[in-house]
Structure 1
Amino acid sequence: MTYLDAILLVGFRLFNGDRSRSAIFHLVSGKKTSQTIQDAHLYGAQDFFQLFPGITREAFDDSCSQLAQRNYLIQLDEQRWNVSKEGDKALINYFNFHRFPIYLKGWLYHDRAAVFWKRLLLLTQSLSNYAYRENRFYPVQRDPDVQHWVKSMFLKWGNDRIDYTKRLLSELTDLCSDKKFPDHPDFIIQQMTGYQLIGMTSNQLADYFSIDDWEVHIRFLNSLHFIFSEIQNQNKYPILYSMQDDITQKEFVLTVSTEKTMTYINQAYSVEQIAQIRNLKNSTIEDHIIEIALMIQSFSIDRYVQRRMQDEIWQAASQLNHKRMKEIKEMVPDASFFQIRLVLVSKGRMDSEWKKPYINTLGSGLSEMVKKK
């Protein structure tokens, strides 16, 4: 089993046979549609969003086929699949020997951490060459925005660049030597380029650690997300914090149309009234409300669904052990599909229970190959 196989099995386990194979593909590839975003939050799979932004459908389908051939996946109907008992056992066994990525924050960090990493690579390369008085080198990042940012930092630091270089090195050393650091620091360090030193590629790291390319990617991403989380402490990591403070997004991001709807919601307008004012369908306004409930933890749905009905819907979903709305509605016929969706996303948005068995029993797992390194 490859690391990709294992991650996809976790995804299928999270969706529990409720969603199609395509939904898993859209989740891990990071397709930014309302349905994928809703799935990610509804099933507690936000952390797995856009884990493999460059994955092809061919690679995804090949992995799924391999899992099915081993009887790790069972087909429920034409579109839906779920993890078999054999698959569950294989997943447990795999993560007994391979570190589980408990620090991944795909939905929260996917764009921001990527920009930070590009800046870090080019800044460290530039500072290293500056320290050795080398003005000519091939930049590891060709992104004009990243290059402009590094140039601005060089101008800002002026004659104190060597001092800032030492401080940056100290912060990186403290981070990578922290007992909480989730993996081998080489997943980060060996990719950096400096004076007369070329960073390793993913393929080279895979050979170095005797693991597959997919595992290199996820374990690097897990370490990067850990770093990104830690450097939010401005007092402890002032240099690293300054490298991302301008790219830190709002706590939640709504589409422009949903933000307009929210202004009317805050004025206590009903769905029908907002739809009439905005010349939109009721269902469109309901979609906006679903998006708001997903993005804003403090948003109350009580005005749309009575507490008693909320409890009935959630109890039905818990009893069925899935979140297929048609079957939930059969158990709570008085509820509309909008109310069912709203309750599921509202009550499920903080659901991260799926992590516990992996964190408790698998989180410290490390392959023997990596231990030797």
Structure 2
Amino acid sequence: MDQSLYSQFFCLSLYSKDYPIKPSTLYHILTGKRTASILFKAHTYQLTKFFSIFPNLKREQYNQMIQKFIARGWIKANGVSEEFYLSEQGKAEVEVYFSEHFYPQRLNQLLNGKATKEFWKKIVFLTQVLSELRYQNKRYLPLDKEWKNQLWVKNWLKNRPLDKQELALSFGKEWIQVLANLDSFSAEIVVSQLTGHEKFGKTITQLASMYKIEALEIAFLLQNVTIQLMDQIVRKKEIYPLFYLIYQECIGDPYSSLSQSTKLTAYYLDKGLSIENIALKRNLKANTISEHVIELAIIFSDFDVSNVIPDTDYQRLITVFQSNEKITYEELEKEMPHVPFSWYRLIQVERSRADE
């Protein structure tokens, strides 16, 4: 991510007038440092939807941007701490800028950012292959050079019962239907990205130049349109059977957003194993498994915290939190010395869902 005007105002928009944010923590959220503490902060700051949105952001570049915000009075220090609030001036600057620019409201990077990217990549590649197939052209450069993705296309085509020409026609008709339900600008951007027979899709940089807006704004627009497409396909899957098959492959696994290690922990939890038994089975520390559990509770709003805390302790914890919602772990230890920090954090996550 370069230090473009759009990226600066986007980062400024992540600060709040209602609660202070620590710039170093925000940096770890934006770059996707996947620890239980950072994930919890992303949850607290209501920024899980932007988790890992700038994985290549350089720390020095980010710090320079924050210093600019401070110098201009756009963010104000919370007393002597390292946390900052968005100032009235900063809020006004954000509102003016985004009154004329797109703001990515619908993203959910933590839950399905990877799956959304995969869906778009597959559907664009398959569009090229089916377009060339429609014209019986076998001499073209595939968009995707990775063998595993080329193999996916071959297997996907092989497993469809339709004749290849019929398949290409049906896929094209689904594109026409799905585009008809987008606004004209979104549809234009999508079509501009597609590659097919004697047509080459434009890059994000080329689109940014064409529309005279920054590349990051175009990238966010495309992500937003992809989410719109996916929502539409799910709502009317009977109209988009081919697109829906691809959607299912990308989104079908509820744990697709997780690391392999956390995914395995989720699998064992589903089997009814306790945190201690999972740790023994996997030859890992119980604290590591507990961090996985906190991650699951943050990502999945229907995760049942009471399943991983003994019932008596769970009920007592609920009672304690009801009497003191802002209780610290140090204060809790005085009342319940045996309670691990992970239980404290899980109850915090569970109780914060009511405010969402």
CA distance in 2, matches of 1:206, 1:196: 22
1:38 is aligned to 40
Residue 241 (structure 1) shift: 1.0
| 2:315 is the counterpart of 1:312 | no
On the 8 A contact 1:17/1:82 being kept in 2, the answer is: yes
Residue 147 (structure 1) shift: 1.0
Residue 215 (structure 1) shift: 0.9
- CA gap 1:185/1:260 in 2 versus in 1, 3 angstroms: closer
For residue 190 of structure 1, the aligned residue among 180, 189, 192 is 192
- CA gap 1:110/1:68 in 2 versus in 1, 3 angstroms: same
Q: Deviations over 1:222-278 (max 9, x none)?
A: 1112222332343232111112322325334572674487479x57x7x88998999
2:121 is aligned to 118
Residue 4 (structure 1) shift: 1.5
Please give the residue correspondences for 1:16-35 in structure 2 after superposition, counting only pairs within 5 Å: 16-18=19-21, 20-35=22-37
- CA gap 1:50/1:187 in 2 versus in 1, 3 angstroms: farther
CA distance in 2, matches of 1:256, 1:153: 26
SS in structure 2 at match of 1:244: helix
1:10 is aligned to 13
- CA gap 1:141/1:14 in 2 versus in 1, 3 angstroms: farther
1:177 is aligned to 180
SS in structure 1 at match of 2:15: helix
Residue 284 (structure 1) shift: 5.0
Residue 148 (structure 1) shift: 1.0
Please give the residue correspondences for 1:42-53 in structure 2 after superposition, counting only pairs within 5 Å: 42-53=44-55
Q: Deviations over 1:184-228 (max 9, x none)?
A: 223322111122222111111112222111111111111112222
For residue 220 of structure 1, the aligned residue among 222, 237, 245 is 222
| TM value normalised by structure 2 | 0.78
2:348 is aligned to 344
- CA gap 1:5/1:192 in 2 versus in 1, 3 angstroms: same
5+ long unaligned stretches in structure 1 = 318-324, 353-373
Residue 22 (structure 1) shift: 2.9
| 2:166 is the counterpart of 1:163 | yes
Of all paired residues, the percent bearing the same amino acid is 23
| 2:129 is the counterpart of 1:153 | no
| 2:104 is the counterpart of 1:101 | yes
CA distance in 1, matches of 2:291, 2:11: 28
For residue 61 of structure 1, the aligned residue among 63, 78, 88 is 63
| 2:95 is the counterpart of 1:92 | yes
On the 8 A contact 2:76/2:86 being kept in 1, the answer is: yes
CA distance in 2, matches of 1:50, 1:238: 32
On the 8 A contact 1:261/1:285 being kept in 2, the answer is: no
CA distance in 1, matches of 2:354, 2:239: 29
CA distance in 1, matches of 2:184, 2:287: 44
SS in structure 2 at match of 1:247: helix
For residue 255 of structure 1, the aligned residue among 256, 262, 271 is 262
On the 8 A contact 1:5/1:63 being kept in 2, the answer is: yes
Q: Deviations over 1:66-102 (max 9, x none)?
A: 3333321234457433322211122222222223322
- CA gap 1:65/1:103 in 2 versus in 1, 3 angstroms: same
| 2:294 is the counterpart of 1:293 | no
- CA gap 1:235/1:58 in 2 versus in 1, 3 angstroms: farther
SS in structure 2 at match of 1:231: helix
1:236 is aligned to 239
- Aligned Cα RMSD in Å? 3.6
State the AA in 2 paired with 1:60: Y
Deviates more, 1:247-256 or 1:140-149: 247-256
Q: Deviations over 1:302-349 (max 9, x none)?
A: 7344332232343x38xxxxxxx57xx669974775554223211224
Residue 105 (structure 1) shift: 1.7
CA distance in 1, matches of 2:92, 2:70: 14
State the AA in 2 paired with 1:200: K
Residue 350 (structure 1) shift: 6.4
Higher relative contact order (CA 8 A, sep 6+): 1
On the 8 A contact 1:313/1:332 being kept in 2, the answer is: no
CA distance in 2, matches of 1:163, 1:124: 14
Residue 106 (structure 1) shift: 1.0
